[in-house]
Amino acid sequence: MSDELKPDELLNKIDHKPDGGDWMDTPVQIRPGMYCYAAKAESVKTLGLPNARPWNPAEDDWKLPENWQEIIHNGIKERLERFRTFKVFMDICVRCGACADKCHFFLGTGDPKNMPVLRAELLRSVYRNDFTRAAKLLKFLPGGEFLAGGRPMTMDVLKEWWYYFFQCTECRRCSVFCPYGIDTAEITIMGRELLNLLGLNIDWIATPVSNCYQTGNHLGIQPHAFKDMLEFFTEDIEEITGVNVEPQFNKKGADILFITPSGDVFADPGTYTCQGYLILFKYLKDKYGLDVTWSTYASEGGNFGFFTSHETMKRLNAKMYAEARRLGVKWILGGECGHMWRVIHQYMDTMNGPADFLEEPVNPITGTKFENAKSTKMVHITEFTADLIKHGKLELDKSRNANRIMTYHDSCNTSRGMGLLEEPRYVLKNVCDNFFEMPENTIREQTFCCGSGSGLNAGENIELRMAGGLPRANAVKYVHEKFGVNTLGTICAIDRAALSTLMEYWVPEVEVCGIHELVGNALILPGEHDREMDLRMEPLPGKEDIDE
């Protein structure tokens, strides 16, 4: 079984030199450990998406509609008109190979179809066959068809699409190196949209999307349970600090609406980051009277709709502005998350704006205008906290994080789809003294994905995830061995879950934390008692012997 695959065995499987042959003649093998289970019919139905039925990728019959080829053909045609990216990227790749060894899935699996260029060629070959005048003209010449390099859309091709478009985390690392900026994320997005036209989603995406649509968040946490969970944290924080942080919910007329991924409410170690937010908001309320509210309706920052289709992304994202308008807040603050921020930064205003019912965001405590967010009116929490720290508005005790020897993982989406690089580092360095960067080809815009992004954070594809996360883990291992790094900081909810598993597999000595967990530890709340534990309820540095 794949989940018993040892790290050494996984490493032994890697070979970066494809052995000849023609990739078009190499049929796909859908291998356990490398793919996610099919979307449940019920989830697909809730969203009103096509072809809801039970099916199994491992079986021959995928229960497709009779005219599936026509649906795909028309789907491609429509998207070529709607997206210049798609059309240009189908036409201009010269197959120079610069992207080939930039993909974490290729580096971790050695599967040549995980080279970004080939992933795109899976779709491009069909495009060339069905949509280019060249193919039609060349057909009349001897050898012309061979030169055109197309292939017809068959069931084998469709299965290959499904397998490999769900082996891409849309991280865009290849796009940084492409001389034409060809973005495989964009191609995977189109590929997945097309697959969704036939009802070929994976369940790890479809069910969270359906939950989010109906209940407000991916995990399907109902409003009262959401409140309960934050109240659990409140009790823990009171035990640690002696202060009741009193979160507010669905409060009309609050200054700021705060939205973060529901993963932070639900799963360790994201929960500690969530506690960090609660402590920060309490501090700002007591010191400066800032009124922040949480929402149970818009209780999801993440957007797995983005991994389904542009339309589904828009349907889920609509709740943020709708809730901000209903509550009458001034602007929106967003928590630590990767793809959530790609959606907010590059799509939200266009899809669901203009947000003319909100105010241009100003930090009421420092007076800083967030010029870069003046239209979308949503600010990233590390932009907000960095501004507070810069203006000396937070009282911080770094020594409470002295046991943490940190490195920092840039999330794909915030680095390559936004450029949020210095803000989290600034916050990190102000709450912790020990910080070491990973090697430069593995951070900032060249950062490596956790291997589980874009909805691939399931259990059944664990081999894929551990292989895809290898380049990231390998760089962490390097700083662990060189500088004794014991904690990997990140600003992404999927990272917090995925990197924890990844570290356990590759570098078990390293823990994962969010940046605001460290802020929560360092921030000195008015009226707090002498803290002895950090947010994980482990003894603070210097207080270790108290338990004994």
Partner 1 sequence: MNQKYMLPLAGVVLLFLLAYAGVEGAGLQWFFGIVIPYLAVIAFIWGFVNRVMGWADSAVPFRIPTTCGQEKSLPWIKQNRIDNPDTAWGVFIRMVLEIFLFRSLFRNTKAAFHRDENNRLSYSWEIFLWLGALAFHYAFLVTAVRHLRFFMEPVPWCLKALEYMDGIVQLGLPNIFMSGLVLLAAALFLLARRIFDAKVSYISLAADYFPLFLIIGIAVTGIAMRYFTKVDVVGVKEFTMGIVTFQPVIPAGVGPLFYAHLFMVSVLIVYFPMSKLMHMGGIFLSPTRNMANNTRAKRHVNPWNYAVDVHTYEQYEDHFRDKMIEAGLPVDKKE
Site string for partner 1, 202-241 (x = CB under 8 A): -----------xx-x-----xxx--xx-------------
Q: What are phi and psi of 332, to 5 degrees?
A: -115, 140
Peptide bond into 364 cis (omega under 30): no
Minimum Å distance from CB 376 to partner 1? Answer: 4
Minimum Å distance from CB 532 to partner 1? Answer: 32
Q: Looking at 83-91, 200-208, 451-459, 526-534, which segment touches partner 1 (CB under 8 A)?
A: 83-91
Only one residue has tokens 């937010």, namely 277
Q: Is 483 in the site for partner 1 (CB under 8 A)?
A: no
**Residue from 34, 62, 102, 157 in contact with partner 1 (CB under 8 A):** 102
**Residue from 60, 371, 530, 547 in contact with partner 1 (CB under 8 A):** 371
Query: How buried is 22 (Cβ within 10 angstroms: 0-12 exposed, 13-18 middle, 19+ buried)?
Result: exposed
Q: Is 178 in the site for partner 1 (CB under 8 A)?
A: yes
Dig out the tokens for 158 from the structure: 């469709």
- The residue among 271 and 415 lying less far from partner 1, judged by its C-beta, is 415
Minimum Å distance from CB 420 to partner 1? Answer: 6
Using CB under 8 A as the binding rule, the residues of this chain from 304 to 323 that contact partner 1 are 310-311, 314-315, 318-319, 322-323
Site size with partner 1, rule: CB under 8 A: 127
**Residue from 114, 411, 430, 474 in contact with partner 1 (CB under 8 A):** 474
Hey, what amino acid is at 360? Answer: E
**Residue from 241, 296, 303, 461 in contact with partner 1 (CB under 8 A):** 296
Using CB under 8 A as the binding rule, the residues of this chain from 254 to 293 that contact partner 1 are none
Q: Is 416 in the site for partner 1 (CB under 8 A)?
A: yes
Determine the longest span between alpha carbons in the chain, in angstroms.
Answer: 85
Using CB under 8 A as the binding rule, the residues of this chain from 107 to 126 that contact partner 1 are 107, 112, 115, 117-118, 121
- The residue among 400 and 416 lying less far from partner 1, judged by its C-beta, is 416
- Count of CB atoms within 10 A of residue 263's CB? 26
How distant is the alpha carbon of residue 158 from its chain centre? Answer: 26
Q: Is 349 in the site for partner 1 (CB under 8 A)?
A: yes
| DSSP-based three-state secondary structure for 432 | coil
Dig out the tokens for 524 from the structure: 């000195």
Question: Is the Cβ–Cβ distance between 28 and 484 less than 8 Å?
Answer: no
Q: Is 364 in the site for partner 1 (CB under 8 A)?
A: no
Helix (H) or strand (E) holding 379: strand 378-380
Using CB under 8 A as the binding rule, the residues of this chain from 323 to 342 that contact partner 1 are 323, 326
d(CA 221, CA 262): 8
- The residue among 159 and 345 lying less far from partner 1, judged by its C-beta, is 345
Q: Residues 6 or more apart from 113 whose CB is under 8 A from it?
A: 23, 28, 119, 122, 160, 164
Question: Is the Cβ–Cβ distance between 494 and 508 less than 8 Å?
Answer: no
Q: Is 133 in the site for partner 1 (CB under 8 A)?
A: yes
- The residue among 175 and 275 lying less far from partner 1, judged by its C-beta, is 175
d(CA 65, CA 422): 49
Only one residue has tokens 């530890």, namely 521
Nearest alpha carbon to residue 357 among 318, 330, 333: 330
Using CB under 8 A as the binding rule, the residues of this chain from 485 to 544 that contact partner 1 are none
d(CA 57, CA 62): 7
Using CB under 8 A as the binding rule, the residues of this chain from 28 to 57 that contact partner 1 are 48
- The residue among 90 and 458 lying less far from partner 1, judged by its C-beta, is 90
Minimum Å distance from CB 95 to partner 1? Answer: 5
